[in-house]
């Protein structure tokens, strides 16, 4: 597609002696449409040219060689130059690209030859898959899809929480009360009961807590009894987790959890010893990070067992060697910001290439909280994610029954609408914001929601089905689409590449969510203001063509977020 920013920068570069790339970086998109499609602020040139911004703007405007096929007009407002792109230019560049790309429209293949590893979801074995895990699963899944769409070799890793002192606790609880619970029939709920019970006992009796710690040390040392119980817990848990992943459509390329690195942590300790980075501290072995303004990173506990940090460092080394990554993203809550700052700093001491250490990125997100406060498996205060998703489907089905009782495949449509509502709700705001969980907000079927985008998509499908045909691009009279409503849509379609680039620059899927709402609302305005069917054929053909592009992009964009589109609602 034509790069309009580059075109503007090229024109300005002919009037001032500055680098085109630098000039392009100055160009902004005005918040108000009446201020043009692009704006060039002259304030940054004031120091260089020793002139007032309005004077610079006037001089540049006077010397510009404007191509009227591309630029409708250029206006000077104070220290800004506002550029208005000709509707025909937007239409032609978008339609040409769409004919080539179709469902891949918006992909620039910028990631070709690059690998990104995304560590996401990572629920804890033998604990409920609750709504606190929703964010990592959904945000990570969306990033996986978008990076892959942009041409990156993408590796999704489910770094399962299948190791640690919690398993020492579960093993101890199972030893004491295992026969009292029906673990085979209802594994997660029954194991949760054991976990809550043993935690209370640990709080009452320090010797029980010490026994739990020793159990984990035995597990690390390969004790046959502990390993057997651990494997049982893990296999039963994975079967339960898969039910949720099937509902969400989640996909992973690797299920290597913390336990996978149990035989790889020794190398981490050896490297840090060789580099004289390990020091004794209150019986534990740590890496001092005082010079970085951080507390020490614990590598070995007082009883010799490993820590999260040891396992994460082993994972970094393994992933660098196995995947040769350009980026390695860790999608976890912001509560772990310090942890990842520490291990990223210690990773620099492992002797691996700067390519890998520079590519490490923590992608933090806000917590999901109940109205009553923070969730805790230890206290038994949580909402299971499977229950949430099933409730979303049930509520969606109820709405569909009220609005369209004769709809075919109501249950299948309700599943797409309900799950889509939950996914979009999670991705519609900046990931760093906390969410207070509320059924009414999560499943609101009005306004800026997933179901609204699905409804607009279904409308585009319905229009095309009623027409009974799709016009060929060579038959389109694009002059029929130069009205303001159409231009707004073409402008949004043109911007998809930039939106997806912003997503990967910031690892922020909400940019795409916001884009899909804007596109849906713009098409709704177009639909209400312009009759599509029953008009003169050249008008109908042009509007049908635009309708098809919008529907295709909405389906593609929603799919990147992890949502499925129903054909009818």
CA–CA dist 187, 174 (Å, integer): 12
> What distance in Å separates the CA atoms of residue 554 and residue 558, rounded to the nearest whole number?
6
Partners of 279 in beta bridges: 286
H or E element: which one contains 253? none
506 is known as an active-site residue: no
Catalytic residue among 61, 133, 362, 415: 133
What is the spatial distance between Cα 68 and Cα 300, in angstroms, rounded to a whole number?
69
Judge whether 362 counts as a catalytic residue: no
Catalytic residue among 5, 61, 88, 130: 130
Distances (CA, A) of 1 to 66, 93, 96, 129, 485: 19, 5, 8, 44, 21
What is d(CA 560, CA 146) in angstroms, rounded to the nearest whole number?
6
Q: Which of 5, 61, 88, 127 is catalytic?
A: 127
Distance of CA 531 to the CA centre of its chain: 37
Inter-residue long-range contacts of 93-100, CB under 8 Å, 24+ positions, other chains counted: 93/1, 93/2, 93/494, 94/1, 94/490, 94/493, 94/494, 94/549, 95/473, 95/476, 95/478, 95/545, 95/549, 96/1, 97/1, 98/493, 98/549, 98/552, 99/473
Record the tokens describing residue 130, joined without a space.
């609750």
Give the integer Cα–Cα distance in Å for 261 and 315.
7
The full length of the chain comes to 569
182 is catalytic: no
Active site residues: 127, 130, 133
């Amino acid at each position: 597609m034509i790069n309009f920013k580059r075109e503007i920068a090229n024109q300005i570069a002919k009037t001032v002696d500055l680098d085109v790339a630098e000039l392009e970086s100055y160009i902004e998109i005005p918040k108000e449409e009446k201020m043009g499609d692009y704006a060039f602020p002259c304030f940054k040139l004031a120091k260089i040219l020793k002139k007032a911004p309005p004077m610079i703007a006037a001089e540049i405007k006077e010397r510009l060689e404007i191509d009227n096929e591309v630029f409708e007009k250029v206006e000077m407002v104070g220290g800004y130059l506002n550029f208005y792109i000709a509707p025909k230019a937007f239409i032609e560049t978008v339609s040409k690209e769409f004919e080539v790309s179709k469902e891949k429209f918006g992909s620039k293949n910028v990631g070709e030859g690059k690998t990104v590893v995304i560590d996401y979801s990572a629920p804890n074995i033998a604990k409920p898959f609750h709504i606190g895990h929703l964010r990592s699963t959904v945000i990570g899944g969306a990033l996986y899809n978008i990076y892959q769409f942009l041409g990156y070799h993408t590796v999704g890793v489910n770094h399962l929480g299948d190791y640690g002192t919690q398993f020492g606790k579960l093993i101890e609880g199972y030893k004491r009360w295992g026969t009292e619970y029906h673990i085979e029939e209802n594994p997660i709920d029954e194991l949760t009961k054991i976990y809550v019970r043993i935690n209370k006992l640990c709080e009452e009796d320090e010797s029980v807590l010490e026994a739990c710690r020793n159990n984990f040390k035995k597990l690390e040392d390969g004790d046959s009894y502990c390993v057997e119980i651990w494997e049982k817990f893990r296999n039963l848990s994975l079967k339960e987790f898969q039910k949720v992943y099937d509902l969400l459509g989640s996909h992973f390329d690797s299920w290597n959890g913390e336990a996978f690195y149990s035989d790889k942590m020794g190398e981490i300790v050896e490297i840090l010893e060789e580099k004289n980075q390990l020091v004794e501290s209150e019986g534990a072995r740590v890496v001092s990070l005082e010079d970085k303004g951080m507390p020490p990173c614990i590598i070995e506990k007082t009883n010799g067992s490993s820590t999260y940090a040891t396992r994460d460092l082993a994972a970094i080394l393994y992933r660098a060697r196995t995947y040769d990554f350009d980026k390695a993203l860790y999608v976890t809550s912001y509560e772990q910001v310090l942890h990842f700052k520490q291990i990223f700093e210690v990773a620099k001491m492992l002797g691996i290439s700067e390519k890998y250490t520079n590519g490490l990125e923590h992608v933090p997100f806000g917590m999901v909280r109940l109205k009553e406060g923070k969730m805790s498996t230890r206290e038994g205060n949580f909402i299971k994610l499977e229950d949430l998703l099933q409730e979303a489907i049930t509520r969606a089905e109820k709405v569909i029954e009220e609005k369209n009782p004769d709809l075919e495949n109501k249950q299948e449509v309700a599943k797409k609408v309900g799950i889509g509502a939950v996914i979009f709700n999670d991705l519609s705001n900046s990931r760093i914001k906390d969410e207070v969980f509320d059924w009414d907000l999560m499943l609101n079927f009005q306004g800026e929601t997933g179901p609204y985008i699905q409804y607009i998509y279904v409308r585009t499908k319905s229009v095309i089905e009623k027409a009974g045909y799709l016009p060929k691009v060579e038959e389109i009279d694009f002059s029929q689409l130069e009205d303001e409503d159409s231009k707004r849509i073409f402008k949004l379609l043109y911007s998809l590449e930039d939106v997806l680039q912003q997503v990967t620059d910031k690892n922020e899927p909400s940019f795409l969510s916001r884009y899909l709402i804007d596109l849906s609302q713009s098409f709704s305005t177009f639909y209400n203001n312009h009759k599509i069917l029953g008009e003169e054929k050249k008008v109908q053909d042009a509007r049908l063509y635009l309708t098809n592009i919008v529907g295709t992009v909405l389906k593609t964009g929603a799919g990147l977020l992890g949502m499925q589109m129903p054909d009818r609602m």
